A = this chain, B = another copy of it.
Amino acid sequence: MRQSQLFSKTRKEAPSDEVSKNAQLLIRGGFINKEMAGVYDYLPLGLRVLNKIVAVIRQEMNAVGGQELSLSSLQSKDIWKKSDRWDDDKVDIWFKTKFQNGAETGLGFTHEEPLTNLMKDHISSFRDLPVAVYQFQTKFRNEIRAKSGIMRGREFLMKDLYTFCKDKNEQDSYYEKLKKAYVKIFDKLGIGAQTFVTFASGGLFSKYSNEFQTVTDAGEDIIYINKAKKFAVNKEVLNEEVLKDLGLKREELVEMKAVEVGNIFNLGTRFSDALALTYKDEKGESKPVWMGSYGIGPGRVMGAIVELKADEKGIVWPKEVAPFFVHLIEINPKKNPTVKNEAEKLYQEFLSAGIEVLWDDREATTGEKFADSDLIGIPVRMIISEKTIAENIVEVKKRASVESEKISRDKVLIFCQKTNL
Contacts and interface: CB of A to CB of B under 8 A. Distances in A.
A41 B155 contact: no
A204 interface: no
B41 A70 contact: yes
Given A7-B133, A97-B107, A121 B33 contact: yes
Category for how many chain A residues contact B? 35 or more
B40 A69 contact: no
Given A138-B73, A155-B72, A105 B7 contact: no
B11 A74 contact: no
Contacts of A107: 97, 107
Interface in A29-54: 30, 33, 35-36, 39-44, 46-47, 50
A43 B69 contact: yes
Contacts of A121: 9, 11, 33
A63 interface: no
A235 to B, nearest CB: 25
Interface in A44-96: 44, 46-47, 50, 65, 67-76, 95-96
A6 B131 CA distance: 9
Contacts of A71: 35, 41
A333 interface: no
A396 B47 CA distance: 43
B44 A67 contact: yes
A74 B7 contact: no
A131 B43 CA distance: 13
Contacts of A118: 33, 41
What copy number does this chain have within its complex? 2
Interface string A127-169: 0100101000010101110000000001100000000000000
A118 B42 CA distance: 11
A39 B122 contact: no
Contacts of A41: 69-72, 114, 118
Contacts of A35: 71-72, 74-76, 114
Nearest to A73: B155
Contacts of A122: 7-9, 30
A365 interface: no
Contacts of A30: 122
Contacts of A40: 72
Contacts of A44: 67-69, 133
Interface centre among A11, A97, A98, A154 (most CB of B within 10 A): A97
A131 B5 CA distance: 8
A100 interface: yes
A43 B114 CA distance: 13
22 contacts: A7-B67, A8-B122, A11-B121, A35-B71, A35-B72, A35-B74, A35-B75, A35-B114, A36-B72, A36-B74, A41-B69, A41-B71, A42-B69, A42-B70, A44-B68, A47-B68, A47-B70, A50-B70, A73-B140, A73-B155, A74-B154, A100-B143
Query: Shortest 6 CB-CB distances between A and B: which pairs?
Result: A42-B70, A97-B97, A95-B97, A41-B71, A7-B131, A35-B72
